[in-house]
Amino acid sequence: MRVSRPALLTLAVATALLASACSSSGGSGGTGSSGSAAGTTLTYWASDQGGSIAQDVKVLTPELDAFTKQTGIKVKLEVIGWNDLLNRILAAASSGQGPDLVNIGNTWSASLQATGAFLPISDDVMKQINGTGRFLPGALAATGAPGQPPVGVPIYSMAYGLYYNKAMFQAAGITQPPTTWDDFVADGKKLTKAGQWGVSVEGAQTPENAHHAFTFAKQMGGSFYDSSGKPTFDTPQNVAGIKRYVDFMAADKIANPSDAEYSNGTEAVKDFATGKSAMLLWQSADATLAQYGMNPSQYGVAPVPFDAASPSGPNHVDSIVAGINLSIFANTKHKDAAISFMKFMTSQQTQMDLNKAYSSLPSVSDAYGDPAFQTQTVKTLQSVLANSAAPMPAVATESQFETVIGAVVQNLFADAASGKPVTDASIAAQLDQAQQKLQAGG
Amino acid sequence: MADARTPAAHPSRNWARVRRAGLPYLLLLPAVVFELLVHVVPMLTGIYMSFKHLTEFFIRNWSAAPAAGVDNYRFALDFNNAVGKQLLESFWTTCEFTVLTVGLSWLLGTGAAVLMQDPFRGRGLLRTYFLVPYALPAYTAAITWEFMFQRDTGLVNTLLVHDLHLFKTAPFWLIGGNSFWALLITAVWRTWPFAFLVVTAGLQNIPGDLYEAAALDGAGMWRRLRSITLPQLRSVNQVLVLVLFLWNFNDFNTPYTLFGNVPPPQANLISVQIYDTSFQNWNFGSGSAMSVLLLLFLLVVTAVYLLLTNWRRRSSDA
């Protein structure tokens, strides 16, 4: 009679295993496209473009309503903050339970492409969304690894610029925004005085740090990957580039040491907007600056300075190709509806409306007719994007690259803030560790 | 089954016995099912993952991930490599952090509980007040501390620098060496009320006549604490210290909320380190391997601790 006890227990275990197996297989449902798209509901994860999630909902809702009116397709919107977005996408990719469409930072394209989570935008899909030949070539370059079909289309384009406070420049007797780093540092020193710093940096924010490390190293002729896609972090050029950036705080003393703590992606902008710093290196900051009460007439926008007066060739880089792409999850059950939403989001009118609201640049050439995109600021950034912006490395480990390099710069800022010297050797050692971590990840 | 082989002469009696013997298991079944679903299955999944090369290329289809053998373990324990070295460093940081947090939480909790033992006006109110940190959600508590520890606008520096003039320049709390202390303060603040609660409950079980007898014999407060309170609390403390240890060693919420995804090296706890490996480097295989190693370590510590404390209790009771 005793034998029946283990038997019952076995039964219990088997039942439990069966139950769990059933629940976990629910995600891999059919992915066929639906016949008629009208009446379906799409789930859309938007990124935070407006400085706050409430602001994004306010901007996007009328557009989504217009889409529903046009097509009969409803859209369930969720705006996700930058700190969570990548993790949410990863979780959605691994569980198969996700939205139909999602905004991604365009620098993640190659990494997310490698997961296979997104629908490849074939020529056929491109035709369906009316997109062939309309997108800016630079923006389209940041939608995946070269030679593979892109995994999204650009919807908002951005570039880094040097934002400067006109009144502070005038008070310090500076007539022209600096075009070389030597001038930038000299001006920064003139602008640094009690309660005011030359420049503010977001020293503990991973993507910001990684973008600057990339651009600054590029200007020195550095590169974080060789042509075969192998990481080459610890090169003298990369060290020199990162040192120039961290030296704003460490050696030149034109950035507030407190900036080493800034991590949420708004604090440096807020300092600039509230007159605590005179300069800011940022991408498409107008909307956020306005939110903090700064009037566009109070500041000017110039290209980010270069190493020498007039660089040429591959060192002629002063921004990443920044921007947001819209991607369709491969698991979507509403492929046709998702494609028509993509078509709507890249249409001329929507591009004008949304990029105006977010102070970003349209990613399609036919939207630039609107007078809102004829301002000096837009023209400056547009020229940067067209002439001197480079896409972040299009390798599968790009998102890890941002993480480890962002952490390197963050640690160096922390050293600088607490008075520890930042030397070529200390930067090289950190880069070396970062590269080991990256290689271990693959 | 054995039932099939028993003679068929008394089938009904056998069936009755099966039913009688089986009923408790049937009643246990829901609990067993949920235990399996909540604990055992995820744990087994984690162990399975730790033997796979589970990177971003395979997260959509885990079963396609190539087998890794013990590669992930070898990689986590290779202390010449940057990742292994960092794991080891964060292990030591975590040990230091846990010992200090458990020690301070226990000390504060026990001290407060003993002081609250004798009735006085407002005791109930004070007891409730002490439990507030424990009742607050972890995120709310840690984010409040994060605001307080900020260099320019934080309450801590306002007090230390502007009001008390203890420092000439404002110190950093969220980066550099001080970050360890910031983490420790937050963690102790969060966990000591639990120690307080458990010890308070334990104190209720100590018979009052022991104290009366001791007082008659002229034992002072200190002597009563050492000779009655602490020995009587031993079994409570045994569990309390173990639970505090396990919680703090595994704590993820506090460091992650205070420092974000890139903690300063001086305050890099092992749970965040494992999270980084899994979710930032997208290597779920080695992240799982690290988790399994952590689990084994905690199992060993728990087993040794229980053996030691039980043995000591038995030998002192005997």
The 3-class secondary structure across A36-93, one letter per residue, is CCCCCEEEEEEECCCCCHHHHHHHHHHHHHHHHHHHCCEEEEEEECHHHHHHHHHHHH
| DSSP per-residue codes, chain B | -HHHHS-TTSHHHHHHHHHHHHHHHHHHHHHHHHHIIIIIHHHHHHHHHTTB---TTTTT-GGGSPB-TTHHHHHHT-TTSHHHHHHHHHHHHHHHHHHHHHHHHHHHHHHHHHHTSS--TTHHHHHHHHTHHHHS-HHHHHHHHHHHH-TTT-HHHIIIIIIS---SSPPPSSSSTHHHHHHHHHHHHHHHHHHHHHHHHHHTTS-HHHHHHHHHTT--HHHHIIIIIHHHTHHHHHHHHHHHHHHHHT--HHHHHHHTTS--GGG--HHHHHHIIIIIS--HHHHHHHHHHHHHHHHHHHHHHHHHHHHHHHHHH-
Residues A275-317 pLDDT 10s:
999 999 999 888 889 889 999 999 999 999 998 766 777 788 9
CB-based contact A216:A320 (threshold 8 Å): no
What is the per-residue pLDDT for A269? 95
Question: Between chains, do A436 and B282 touch, taking CB under 8 Å as contact?
Answer: no
- In this predicted model, what pLDDT tens digit does every residue of A4-27 receive, in sequence order? 444 444 444 444 444 443 333 333
Q: Which of A12, A115, A434 sits opposite B29 (nearest CB)?
A: A12
pLDDT at A310: 63
Whether B143 has its CB under 8 Å from any CB of chain A: the answer is no
* Tokens matching residue B182: 């910031």
Which chain B residues touch A414 with a CB distance below 8 Å? Answer: 172, 175-176, 264
Return the residue of B nearest to A204 by Cα.
B262
Q: Could you tell me the strand order of the sheet in which A153-158 lies?
A: A74-80, A41-47, A101-105, A322-328, A153-158, A361-362
- Which chain B residues have a beta carbon less than 8 Å from that of A83? 260-261
Measured distance CA(A232)–CA(A222) in Å, rounded: 9
Express each pLDDT in A358-375 by its tens digit: 889 999 999 988 888 988
Contacts of A258 (CB under 8 A, 6+ apart): A417, B151, B152, B170
CA distance A199 to A184: 9
Minimal Cα–Cα distance from B47 to chain A, Å? 16
Chain-centre distance of CA A16, in angstroms? 43
Q: Compute the nearest-CA separation of A378 from chain B (Å).
A: 34
Inform me whether the pLDDT recorded for A31 exceeds 50: no
Q: Which residue, A58, A62, A152, is CA-closest to A102?
A: A152
Length of chain B, please?
318
Asked if B139 reaches chain A (Cβ–Cβ under 8 Å), the answer is: no
10 Å CB burial of residue B286 (0-12, 13-18, 19+) is: buried
Q: What is the pLDDT of residue B318?
A: 57
- Closest of B90, B97, B86 to residue B180, by C-alpha: B97
pLDDT in tens, chain B (318 residues): 444 454 555 667 788 888 888 888 889 999 989 988 888 998 998 999 899 888 877 877 777 888 888 888 988 888 888 888 989 999 999 999 999 999 999 999 999 999 998 888 999 999 999 999 988 998 999 999 999 999 988 999 999 998 898 888 889 999 888 999 999 999 999 999 999 999 999 999 888 888 889 888 888 888 888 888 999 999 899 999 999 999 999 999 999 999 988 899 899 999 999 988 887 777 888 889 999 999 999 999 999 999 998 887 777 765
Q: Is the pLDDT of residue A409 over 90?
A: yes
Residue A236 to residue A179: CA distance in whole angstroms? 24
Query: Is the Cβ of B55 closer than 8 Å to some Cβ of chain A?
Result: yes
> A209-245: per-residue pLDDT in tens?
999 999 999 999 999 999 888 999 999 999 999 999 9
- pLDDT given for residue B118 in this prediction: 84
Residues from chain A that touch B176, judged by Cβ atoms under 8 A, are 414, 417-418
pLDDT in the model for residue A147: 86
Q: How far apart are CA A142 and CA A355, in angstroms?
A: 18
Judge: B41–A16 Cβ closer than 8 Å, yes or no. Answer: yes
Residue pair B264/A414 in contact (Cβ under 8 Å)? The answer is: yes
Overall size of chain A counted in residues:
442
Task: Enumerate the residues of chain A whose CB falls inside 8 A of the CB of residue B260.
Answer: 83, 204, 263
Q: Which B-chain residues 67-106 have CB contacts (< 8 A) with chain A?
A: 75, 81-83, 86
d(CA B284, CA A397): 14
Three-state DSSP at A225 gives strand
Backbone angles phi, psi at A101, to 5 degrees: -130, 155
Residue A362 CB partners (closer than 8 Å, separation 6+): A157, A351, A352, A355, A368, A373
Instruction: Determine the pLDDT at residue A10.
Output: 44
Residue A348 CB neighbours (<10 A): 17
- The superfamily CATH assigns to domain A160-320+393-441 is Periplasmic binding protein-like II (3.40.190.10)
One CATH from 3.50.30.50, 3.40.50.1980, 1.10.110.30, 1.10.3720.10 for B81-282: 1.10.3720.10
CATH code, A41-158+322-390? 3.40.190.10
Report DSSP state, residue A116.
T
Q: A83 and B1 in contact by Cβ < 8 A?
A: no
Is A265 in a helix, a strand, or coil? coil
Looking at residue A440, its pLDDT comes to: 67
Eight-state DSSP code of residue A33: P
Across the interface, do B172 and A111 touch by the CB < 8 Å criterion?
A: no
For the record, the structure tokens of B298 come out as 């905690």
Residues 6+ apart with CB under 8 A from A274: A292, A293, A294
Please indicate if any CB of chain A lies within 8 Å of the CB of B18: yes
Is the pTM above the cut of 0.90?
no
Neighbours of A12 (CB within 10 A): 19
Task: Report whether A302 contacts A77 (CB < 8 A).
Answer: no
- What SS3 state is found at A381? helix
Residue A149 contacts residue A165 (beta carbons within 8 Å): no
B83 touches A440 (CB < 8 A): yes
Pairing label, strands A322-328, A389-390: unpaired
Nearest Cα neighbor of A319 from A382, A246, A260 is: A382
B22 chain-A contacts, CB cut-off 8 A: 4, 8
CB atoms under 10 Å from CB of A242, counted, come to 29
Residues 6 or more apart whose Cβ sits within 8 Å of residue A150: A109, A120, A121, A140, A143, A144
Write out the two tokens for B152: 């320019």
For residue B304, give how far its alpha carbon lies from the nearest alpha carbon of chain A (Å). Answer: 30
Alpha carbons within 13 angstroms on the beta-carbon side of residue A398 total 25
Q: Cβ of A261 and B62 within 8 Å?
A: no
Inter-chain touch B60–A93, beta carbons under 8 Å: yes
Integer-rounded Cα Rg, in Å, for chain B is 26
Q: Which residues of B18-33 are buried (b: 16+ CB within 10 A; e: fewer)?
A: eeeeeeebeeebeebb
Structure tokens at B79: 């202390």
Question: Which residues from chain B sit within 8 angstroms of residue A115, using beta carbons?
Answer: 56-57, 59-60
Mutation target to probe the B interface, by most B beta carbons within 10 A, among A395, A400, A401, A438 is: A400
**Identity of the residue numbered B112:** A
Domain boundaries, chain B: 1-49, 81-282
Q: Which residues of B touch A267 (CB under 8 A)?
A: none
Q: Which class for B308: exposed (0-12), middle (13-18), buried (19 or more C-beta within 10 A)?
A: exposed
Taking the Cβ of residue B59 and every Cβ of chain A, the question of whether any pair is shorter than 8 Å is answered with yes
Give the integer Cα–Cα distance in Å for A91 and B210. Answer: 58
CB < 8 Å to B75, chain A = 440
Residues of B in contact with A433 (CB under 8 A): 82, 86
Residue A167 structure tokens: 């009144």
pLDDT band at A34 (very low <50, low <70, confident <90, very high): very low
Q: Any CB–CB contact under 8 A between B303 and chain A?
A: no
Query: Residue A131 pLDDT more than 70?
Result: yes
Contact A348, A366 (CB under 8 A): yes
- Residue A158, helix vs strand vs coil: strand
E-only strand ranges, A351-430 = 361-362, 389-390
Question: What ipTM was estimated for this complex?
Answer: 0.81
Does B56 reach chain A within 8 Å, measured CB to CB?
Answer: yes
Spatial CA neighbour of B267 closest among B213, B200, B187: B187
Whole-number pLDDT of residue A2: 42
pLDDT of residue A26: 35
CA distance B57 to chain A (A): 5
* Start and end residues for every CATH 3.40.190.10 domain found in chain A: 41-158+322-390, 160-320+393-441
